[in-house]
Amino acid sequence: MFQVNDHFGRLQGSYLFSEIARRVNEYTGENPDREIIRLGIGDVTRPLAPAVLQAIDKATQEMADEKTFMGYGPEQGYEFLRAAIREGDYAARGVDIGLDEIFVSDGSKCDTGNIQELLSPDCKIGVTNPVYPVYVDTNVMAGRSGEFDAQTGQFSEITYIPTTAENDFVPALPQRRVDVMYLCSPNNPTGTAMTKDQLKVWVDWANETGALILFDGAYERFITDGDVPHSIYEIEGAKTCAIEFRSFSKTAGFTGTRCAYTVVPKELMGQDSKGNKVSMNALWLRRHTTKFNGVSYIVQRGAAAIYTAEGKKQVEQNIEAYLANARMILDGLREIGITAYGGVNSPYVWLKTPDGMASWDFFDKLLKEANVVGTPGSGFGSAGEGYFRLTAFNTKENTEKAISRLANLK
């Protein structure tokens, strides 16, 4: 009989958000009359911007005419979208990124998982703790994790760097060998962000040690503080040590439409088992063109519309609405005596559970007594225990209701 990949057997329980969905479905099945307010999974509620819809409609009509019909496109993305990304997200901030360094995809979750295919099985992985589960789980699947220790809640071969209130949510440099470090700023789940000086420490470390930084910038559009970089490439030296992931999901409402991109600079070099330098850009191009047929033309036209004058304005209105919800959550929690962080440069608010309550216990209490869904901090790693994540992606009305219900909790 054929054998399966044993590494999958090391994965711990259900994927976090699948477990949340299971518990919510079980509760709503038993209580169909209850109004559930979801501040858990980071899905958006505001519709696509009118400029995006107009571009999608026009592209759809083009598909109905044999003269303008589009079949297979370039796997790395149409030039019109990559050019818009280069100008709107990088050149506008004084960063020079080439068209052939931008790879359009169907989601940064996919890219952050798939990128590890370029890495040797022997690479040592580092993550912040708490951490977006995909970073860990995809490396477990690839065999880099080692064994799981139930007492610590960690894998033996992964380096976990605490990012908690005790260190102001700024991860310290690792004290043991790390070849690949995942950084996310603004951070999911804590909602906090690294300043340019703080990120420069990591860039310098990576260049000195030969490590690779995988930088998840999915929430950069929510940044409001001037000393928080929107791209790691704003930091001198980052092009020789970092790959950046960006997404249109939260920033422009593409969670159901699917579009994102990854930047792999040509200056970025790894090495093979013989010590020869290897272009990471060339490897990712090979992987991308081999395993991916590209994002649909229609969706890419919609994504490009984000960078038009009207598109920028409309998307910014959505961002401002979500940030207003985040401020409402943050202020509301603090008013009722709950310690909370984030919510300024991010759509996430990270709170300490009252009276040291376990994260999943607080989840159940919130669901059953307030009919509000959040995300248990322990689902993001051992350092997330005792914390809880709320998102700002619901409507203003539902956010107000949720805070009111929280205030009435015993």
For 173-228, strand residue ranges (E) read: 180-184, 212-216
Tokens of 71: 């079949």
The DSSP code for 175 is S
Cα→Cα distances 17→7, 20, 42, 54, 374, Å: 21, 5, 10, 33, 10
Q: Between 309-335 and 396-407, two packed helices, what is the crossing angle to 10 degrees?
A: 10
Q: Tell me the binding residues.
A: 15, 42, 72, 108-109, 132, 188, 219, 247-249, 258, 293, 389
* DSSP state letters, 24-54: HHHHHHH-TTS--EE-SS----SPPPHHHHH
Cα–Cα nearest to 347, from 111, 189, 231, 144: 189
Q: Tell me the binding residues for substrate.
A: 15, 42, 109, 132, 188, 293, 389
Q: Round to whole Å and give the CA distance between 186 and 343.
A: 10
Neighbours of 277 (CB within 10 A): 8
Decide: 136 and 116 in contact? Cβ < 8 Å: no
Tokens of 203: 């860039």
Q: Tell me the binding residues for pyridoxal 5'-phosphate.
A: 72, 108-109, 132, 188, 219, 247-249, 258, 293
Q: Round to whole Å and give the CA distance between 213 and 211.
A: 7
Cα–Cα nearest to 186, from 251, 116, 113: 251
Q: Round to whole Å and give the CA distance between 266 and 189.
A: 31
What's the maximum distance between 2 C-alpha atoms anywhere in the chain?
66
Triad 12, 172, 249: Cα angle to 5°: 55
Q: Between 309-335 and 50-62, two packed helices, what is the crossing angle to 10 degrees?
A: 140
SS3 79: helix
Decide: 387 and 351 in contact? Cβ < 8 Å: yes
Q: Which amino acid is at 94?
A: G
